[in-house]
């Protein structure tokens, strides 16, 4: 095995891989977007680029940005392992006092930070980026809208004497305009994309077994769905008769936009329309929970709706279909009936745990579902599941970053063998190698699909299993993500080879 040889890199610290070398060489010629599957060494690429920029100008400094504190610290540790003694590395957060941060910026070679801290310090004139020869933007797909990355990149390109940006991501998005937004916000000149199927990558990836498993709603659950559909359909017909919508095929985003449009009109009929749309959104959420999640989550939601005092909720509470839906849901819940996905999940986990060293991640989108999954799997012999969710929202439960890191360490050591996770486990955090990744429900996002799938098959063969309820939005979301992922790869390759004329020309305004 050959290793990277560089005056600033430790011997035997970074394996010399041709695809990484190719990306490094490109990255040193101009601002580069590096799209590489999870586990294939984006951090190693960043370390070599940083080392070379320091070698060329020993007085310059490097800034490495990552979205969360645990991820910032993780990158610092990785660089510490790769870089030779003498390179000053430090991680800072907003909790570091301002006067200390001023000293840190001047003293250290490579600074690791969250973008919010850097944005605040730029606005407060605590930090000047003039002498920084490289900024690494990790999880670069976040660089859209008002996210701090956008502001930092703009200031950097205007003020730095010799700027260079390296943007890292497993997926910048499934649609051309989203990729263009990221590219423009980071002033990208070069696009380097590598996939698991590339000749120079194949030797370093493990086989992934992809499978999707469909289940049918039970007959009682289909009856419950009929009650909810009756409510939704009657409201949609009324909205069409009022000419607020043209057809019944509108999604939640479109309905929310309609509400905003009606709010600007400030008329009685507009407010009536807004309230009716609110009913549709509430019932559609109940349908989504029934079709894709678990009865426990639906039961909690319907109970909450039955106690709300908004006009929309009060009208729903008087609807016979809503009354019947609440009654039937409670009956099924009290009888212990649950979504058929949970039964299928028990079968899958039981089979995977025949390997005593198995590590499994089950991804789900809602905390009620994650709680139910963890509770259900804890009854399996040999299973040691644990909930892994983000920080608390308002009065809800959550895990702070210290506890998250503790759980990941315990997962690595084998105290837990099933991580029941929200999207917090999708991005960045150093999750130990897993045998299987299970999607409790498909995601329509190409970014999230790629990141979830990247949690397995790093050093050994792995499985990605997607659970879907037949004839529901689950199937639509699954195929949507598949389509977006293919489109993303096609668009990025076209950008790389300069064939995507419609994406516009790269410009930097100083």
Phi, psi of 398 (to 5 degrees): -170, 175
Indicate the range of 61-75, 176-190, 273-287, 453-467 predicted with least confidence. Answer: 453-467
pLDDT of residue 365 exceeding 90: yes
For the entire predicted model, the pTM comes to: 0.84
Q: Give the model's confidence band at 176: pLDDT under 50 very low, under 70 low, under 90 confident, else very high.
A: confident
Q: Give the model's confidence band at 430: pLDDT under 50 very low, under 70 low, under 90 confident, else very high.
A: low
Q: Supply the pLDDT for residue 502.
A: 40
Q: How far apart are CA 49 and CA 27, in angstroms?
A: 7
Q: Supply the pLDDT for residue 507.
A: 40
Q: Please name which of 101, 104, 112, 102 lies closest in space to residue 134, comparing C-alpha atoms.
A: 112
Largest Cα span, the chain: 76
* More confidently predicted of 224 and 459: 224
Burial 231-251 (b: 16+ CB within 10 A, else e): bbeebbebbeeeebbeeeebe
Q: Please count the other Cβ atoms lying within 10 Å of the Cβ belonging to residue 218.
A: 15
pLDDT of residue 101 exceeding 70: yes
Q: Please name which of 494, 482, 413 lies closest in space to residue 453, comparing C-alpha atoms.
A: 482
Domains and CATH numbers, the chain: 18-204 (3.40.50.300), 219-334 (1.20.1320.20), 340-481 (3.40.50.300)
Q: Supply the pLDDT for residue 448.
A: 85
Question: What mean pLDDT comes out for the span 443-460?
Answer: 81
Task: List, in order, residues 6 or more apart from 502 with CB less than 8 Å away.
Answer: 176
pLDDT of residue 132 exceeding 70: yes
Indicate the range of 97-101, 232-236, 280-284, 335-339 predicted with least confidence. Answer: 97-101
Q: Give the model's confidence band at 395: pLDDT under 50 very low, under 70 low, under 90 confident, else very high.
A: low
Q: Give the model's confidence band at 475: pLDDT under 50 very low, under 70 low, under 90 confident, else very high.
A: very high
Q: Supply the pLDDT for residue 17.
A: 94
Q: How far apart are CA 167 and CA 450, in angstroms?
A: 17
| Sequence-ordered strand ranges (E) for 239-346 | none
Classified as helix, coil or strand, 150 is helix
Average pLDDT, the chain: 91
Classified as helix, coil or strand, 165 is strand
Q: Supply the pLDDT for residue 508.
A: 37
Q: How far apart are CA 282 and CA 405, in angstroms?
A: 35
Burial 181-211 (b: 16+ CB within 10 A, else e): bbbbbbbbebbbbbebeeeebeebbeeeeee
β-bridge partners, 387: 420
Classified as helix, coil or strand, 385 is strand
Question: What mean pLDDT comes out for the span 155-168?
Answer: 97
Question: What mean pLDDT comes out for the span 441-462?
Answer: 83
**Four-residue CA torsion sign, 284, 290, 294, 299:** positive
- Residue 467 DSSP one-character state: E
* More confidently predicted of 451 and 431: 451
- Entry field: residues in the chain: 510
CA distances from 146 to 85, 143, 220 (A): 38, 8, 46
């Amino acid at each position: 095995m050959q290793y990277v040889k560089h005056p600033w890199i430790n011997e035997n610290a970074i394996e010399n891989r041709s695809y990484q070398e190719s990306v490094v060489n490109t990255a040193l010629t101009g601002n580069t977007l590096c799209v590489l599957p999870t586990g294939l060494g984006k951090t190693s690429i960043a370390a070599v680029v940083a080392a070379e920029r320091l070698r060329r100008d020993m007085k310059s400094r490097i800034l490495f940005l990552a979205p969360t504190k645990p991820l910032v610290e993780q990158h610092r540790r990785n660089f510490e392992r790769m870089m030779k003694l003498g390179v000053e590395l430090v991680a800072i957060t907003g909790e570091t006092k301002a006067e200390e941060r001023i000293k840190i910026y001047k003293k250290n070679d490579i600074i690791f930070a969250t973008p919010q801290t850097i944005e605040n310090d730029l606005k407060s004139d605590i930090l000047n980026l003039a002498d920084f020869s490289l900024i690494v933007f990790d999880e670069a797909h976040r660089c859209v809208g008002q996210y701090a990355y956008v502001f930092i990149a703009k200031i950097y390109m205007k003020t730095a004497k010799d700027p260079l940006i390296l943007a890292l991501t497993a997926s910048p998005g499934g649609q051309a305009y989203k990729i263009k937004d990221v590219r423009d916000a980071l002033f990208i000149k070069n696009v380097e994309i590598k996939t698991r199927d590339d000749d120079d990558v194949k030797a370093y990836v493990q086989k992934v077994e992809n499978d999707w498993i469909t289940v049918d709603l039970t007959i009682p659950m289909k009856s419950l769905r009929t009650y909810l559909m009756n409510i939704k359909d009657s409201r949609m017909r009324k909205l069409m008769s009022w000419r607020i919508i043209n057809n019944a095929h509108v999604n939640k985003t479109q309905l929310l936009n309609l509400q905003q449009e009606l709010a600007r009109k400030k008329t009685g009929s507009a407010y009536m329309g807004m309230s009716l749309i609110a009913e549709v959104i509430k019932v559609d959420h109940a349908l989504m929970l029934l079709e894709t999640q678990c009865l426990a989550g639906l039961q909690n939601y319907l109970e909450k709706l039955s106690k709300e005092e908004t006009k929309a909720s009060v009208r729903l509470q008087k609807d016979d279909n809503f009354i019947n839906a609440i009654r039937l849901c409670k009956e099924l819940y009290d009888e212990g009936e649950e979504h058929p996905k949970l039964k299928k999940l028990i079968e899958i986990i039981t089979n995977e745990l025949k390997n005593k060293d198995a590590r499994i991640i089950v991804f789900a989108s809602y905390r009620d579902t994650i709680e139910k999954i963890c509770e259900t799997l804890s009854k399996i012999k040999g299973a040691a599941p644990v909930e892994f969710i983000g920080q608390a929202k308002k009065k809800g439960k959550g895990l702070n970053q210290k506890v998250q890191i503790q759980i990941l360490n315990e997962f690595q050591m084998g105290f837990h063998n099933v991580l029941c996770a929200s999207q917090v486990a999708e991005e960045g955090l150093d999750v130990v190698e897993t045998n299987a990744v299970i999607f409790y429900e498909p995601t329509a996002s190409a970014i999230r699909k790629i990141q979830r799938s990247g949690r397995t098959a790093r050093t050994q063969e792995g499985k990605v299993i997607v659970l879907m309820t037949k004839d529901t939005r689950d199937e639509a979301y699954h195929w949507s993500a598949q389509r977006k992922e293919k489109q993303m790869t096609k668009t990025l390759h076209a950008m790389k080879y300069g064939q995507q004329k419609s994406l516009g020309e790269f410009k930097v305004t100083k």
